[in-house]
């Protein structure tokens, strides 16, 4: 899951993406760890992303992500999520 910030069509960068953006993740109403990609203080960045290990499931599962973002007026947020299998080998 990722969040990208922009203002007037340009990247909106800060040095503190780990402090300014956070995510809580739940699968089937149970909390799941969301590991931030960028730490608290880093190079100037307009984005933050989180890695979430999703356990293998036989059935569909409900998931919910709650994002918190500290920003200024006029900043647009673009949120994306990708599901990447842990193993791509085929039997």
Task: Give the predicted TM-score (pTM) of the model.
Answer: 0.80
> The domain containing residue 43 runs over which residues?
2-52+60-80
pLDDT, tens digit, for every residue of 5-54? Answer: 999 999 999 888 888 999 999 999 999 999 999 887 788 899 999 999 88
- In contact, 53 and 33? CB cutoff 8 Å: yes
Asked whether residue 88 is domain-assigned, the answer is no
Asked whether residue 85 is domain-assigned, the answer is no
- Measured distance CA(64)–CA(25) in Å, rounded: 6
Domains held by the chain: number: 1
- In contact, 36 and 67? CB cutoff 8 Å: no
Tell whether the model's pLDDT for residue 88 goes beyond 70.
no
Can you read off the two tokens belonging to residue 23? 């995510």
Cα 68 to chain centroid, rounded: 10
Asked whether residue 9 is domain-assigned, the answer is yes
Asked whether residue 91 is domain-assigned, the answer is no
Asked whether residue 10 is domain-assigned, the answer is yes
Asked whether residue 86 is domain-assigned, the answer is no
């Amino acid at each position: 899951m990722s969040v990208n910030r922009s203002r007037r069509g340009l990247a909106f960068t800060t040095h503190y993406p780990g402090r300014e953006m956070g995510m809580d993740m739940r699968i089937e109403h149970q909390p799941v760890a969301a590991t931030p990609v960028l730490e608290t203080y880093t190079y100037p960045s307009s984005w933050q992303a989180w890695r979430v290990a999703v356990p293998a499931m036989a059935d569909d599962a409900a998931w919910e992500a709650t994002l918190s973002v500290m920003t200024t007026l006029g900043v647009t947020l673009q949120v994306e999520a990708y599901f990447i299998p842990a193993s791509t080998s085929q039997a």
